[in-house]
Every structure is written in C-alpha cells, then in structure tokens.
C-alpha cells in the first residue's frame, strides 16, 4: 500500500509528493505525459531552456514558498517586463508612466492621473455606483477608453475568443496601474526563473520518489484506487466523474516554436501582439529569460484556440454557467473519502505558481495534522 498516490507531476503534485516523502510516507506519482513538471516543463534546445507550454515567471511575496523552491535549485534575477505591440507602435507593460507618456504624452504623475480620471468619467457615470457587469466595463473603470481600445480590447477578444462584454469582470480585476516609470510587471518581493530550468526544479523535488510516466490514471483506476490510502488528484475534476454533468469549458493554446540563426530576434523575452489581424497573442524569446548569449535563438508564437477534449486545458472560463457546473462536481468530490482534489484543473481555478505550491503545502499539513 502507498500512503499517497498523486495523479499529476506538476507543481501541485510535486510539492505534495516532496513533503510526503520527507515525512516518511510511501508515495507514487502518476503522470499521463512523457515528462514531469506539468505546464512549466522546460526542454534544453541549443543550450536554451525552452518553456514548452508558454512563459512561466515565478513571483511571490511568500517567503516560505520562495525559500522552498530555492532549496532545490538557484533562481536568477529575471524581472518580467513585457512589451505590447499595437498598430505598429510599442508600449511598456504594465500600464505605468512610460505607457501613459507613449499614449498621452503626460510627463508627470499628476498629469497622468488627471488624464486617467478624464478617461474613466463616462463609464463611472454609467455604472452609477454598481459593480462592473463584464470585462469591458471593468477595464474601462480601471484605465478608461484609450488604453482599453489600444492595449486591451483586441488582445483580450483574441485570447478568449469572446467579446469583452461577454467575459466576466473577474478576469481583469487585478490589472496593474502604476504612476511610476517602473516596467516590472509584478509587485511581489521575490521574482525569477530557475537558473537551470523548471524541469530541474521539479526533478529535484521528486528525487527518491517512484514515478510512472506515460500512465493515464483512468486506464488503471481500479488498480490504483486499491493500493492507496489516499489519492491526491490534480487532473480535471469533470473527467474524474466521467463528465456526468457535462464538460467544463477552457481556453486552449497552440505553440509554434522556431530555431533562428540569429543571436537576438526581438530584444525581449515577451512581446504581446494586440492587433486582431495577427493570429498569435505573443512571441516568447526564451533565451532572454536567462540573459543568454548563445549564437542562435528560439522563439515561440502562442496561438489561442477553442478547447476540445483532445487539447490541453489552459485557462478556465469562470463565467456563471461554468462556475455553477463546477459546484456540482465539487459536491461530488466532497463525497469521496479517499480522494483529495487539488490544483488548477481539480479546482477549476487559475493559480499562479506560488499559489499552487502554497495550496499544496496547506493541503499536506491538513492531511497530516
């Protein structure tokens, strides 16, 4: 018997497995893919750590989480400072004094704040004290019409495949706005990327633990459920219950990666492409995550696409209908005494990486009080 069989070798599963192993528990990790590390998996190509499932920048203000990940591998000092390209012009992100100057030519915080209040006046009058009902109203109430039209609307509709007024306001509630010339996207105390890639991080987290790759839990379900005291399930919650209430909806992605015979393609790790007529949302140049000086470079174009059952799930669509459906599955999950559900797919929730690790820590300590 195993103390825990953990379904999924991403950050949630790896964190729980590591803590359980250190506590002397017998652990087995099951992973349907041919590699560990989930969506933060990196593969070394041409001496460059390529983020195979999109850009992953680790950031947190939780020192316990930061010390935990740094105990396995050193992190570099990478600071996330993406650029947006709209109608042939380049803009700094997040929205800050550089962005405001690029759009309005405002030179001081006072000028920028006055312009922002002017931009927001119409929507605030329309809302008349009520909460924004959709993403468009939410964005307009935060940054006003110009920034919404130039940097948000087309990109968001391309990313989600829906009109902004058909998307929940929650998607954009935490959009950062700064009245400083600071291009650091995150406000967290700690930020960086594992110096040798995320795969090495997770490899070290899982040292000494039995792992079965290329193994679909559902193909071996009866066997696995009979040899575990507890199952930690990090997969899609609707699939666990055989989609009995229907499938939860997601947004998926397709990646197109290319090796280029040049040492520097775009001069930044991430550039967002706002315009609707450009089919991809961003280009990632992987070497810049690690300040690389290799003779070649590798880029990845990221194409949003409709999710179907044979595609990877990336972003949950947390609208009213899907959240209500999730609650039905959550109720079923609550009836399972030997299965614990955790992580973004099992909880139908978008998590940053530090939040995933923190939640796995909390779950482990809850299970082992």
Query: For residue range 223-236, what is the model confidence (pLDDT) as tens digits?
Result: 999 999 999 999 99
Q: Which residues are catalytic?
A: 174, 178, 251, 282, 302, 350, 352
Beta bridge pairs of residue 68? none
Mean pLDDT of 205-233: 97
Query: Which domains, and CATH codes, for the chain?
Result: 2-62+195-248+316-367 (3.40.50.720), 83-172 (no CATH)
pLDDT at 27: 98
Of 265, 78, 81, 277, residue with least CA distance to 184: 81
pLDDT at 369: 82
pLDDT at 175: 84
Going from the C-alpha of 5 to that of each of 21, 30, 33, 122, 204, the distances in angstroms are 11, 7, 16, 55, 19
Share of the chain above pLDDT 70, in %: 100
Tokens 């040899």 identify what position? 227
Share of the chain above pLDDT 90, in %: 97
pLDDT at 174: 77
Q: How far apart are the first and last CA of the chain?
A: 21
pLDDT band at 41 (very low <50, low <70, confident <90, very high): very high
pLDDT band at 316 (very low <50, low <70, confident <90, very high): very high
Look at the pTM and tell me if it is higher than 0.85.
yes
Dihedral of alpha carbons 47, 53, 57, 60, sign: negative
Beta bridge pairs of residue 192? 58
Q: Does residue 170 carry a pLDDT above 80? A: yes
Angle between helices 198-205 and 11-22 (to 10 degrees): 30
Burial 155-188 (b: 16+ CB within 10 A, else e): bbbbbbeeebeebbbebbeeeeebbeebbbbbeb
């Amino acid at each position: 018997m195993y103390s825990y069989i953990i379904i999924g070798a991403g950050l949630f599963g790896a964190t729980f497995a590591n803590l359980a192993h250190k506590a002397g528990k017998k652990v087995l990790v099951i992973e349907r893919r041919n590699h560990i590390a989930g969506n933060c998996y990196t593969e070394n190509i041409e001496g460059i750590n390529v983020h195979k499932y999109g850009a992953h920048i680790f950031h947190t203000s939780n020192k316990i989480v930061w010390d935990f990940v740094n105990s396995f591998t050193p992190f570099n000092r990478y600071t996330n400072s993406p650029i947006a390209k709209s109608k042939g012009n380049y803009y700094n992100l997040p929205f800050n004094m550089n962005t405001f100057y690029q759009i309005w030519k405002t030179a001081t915080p006072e000028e920028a704040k006055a312009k922002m209040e002017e931009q927001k006046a119409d929507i605030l009058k329309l809302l008349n004290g009520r909460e924004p009902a959709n993403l468009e109203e939410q964005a307009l109430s935060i940054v006003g019409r110009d920034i919404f039209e130039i940097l948000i609307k087309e990109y968001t509709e391309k990313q989600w495949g829906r009109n902004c007024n058909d998307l929940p306001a929650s998607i954009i509630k935490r959009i950062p706005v700064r009245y400083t010339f600071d291009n650091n996207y995150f406000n967290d105390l700690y930020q960086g990327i594992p110096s040798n890639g995320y795969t090495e991080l997770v490899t070290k987290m899982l040292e000494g633990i039995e792992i079965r790759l290329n193994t679909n839990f559902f193909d071996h379900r009866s066997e696995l459920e009979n040899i575990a005291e507890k199952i930690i399930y990090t997969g899609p919650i609707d699939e666990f219950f055989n989609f009995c209430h229907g499938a939860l909806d997601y947004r998926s992605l397709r990646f197109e990666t290319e090796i280029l015979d040049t040492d520097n393609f775009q001069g930044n790790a991430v550039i967002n492409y706002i315009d609707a007529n450009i089919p991809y949302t961003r280009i990632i140049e992987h070497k810049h995550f690690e300040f690389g000086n290799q003779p070649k470079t590798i880029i990845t174009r990221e194409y949003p696409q409709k999710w179907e059952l044979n595609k990877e799930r990336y972003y949950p669509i947390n609208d009213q209908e899907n959240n209500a459906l999730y609650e039905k599955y959550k109720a079923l999950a609550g009836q399972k005494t030997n299965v614990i559900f955790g992580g973004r797919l099992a909880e139908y929730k978008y998590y940053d990486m530090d939040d995933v690790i923190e939640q796995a820590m909390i779950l482990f300590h809850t299970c082992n009080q």
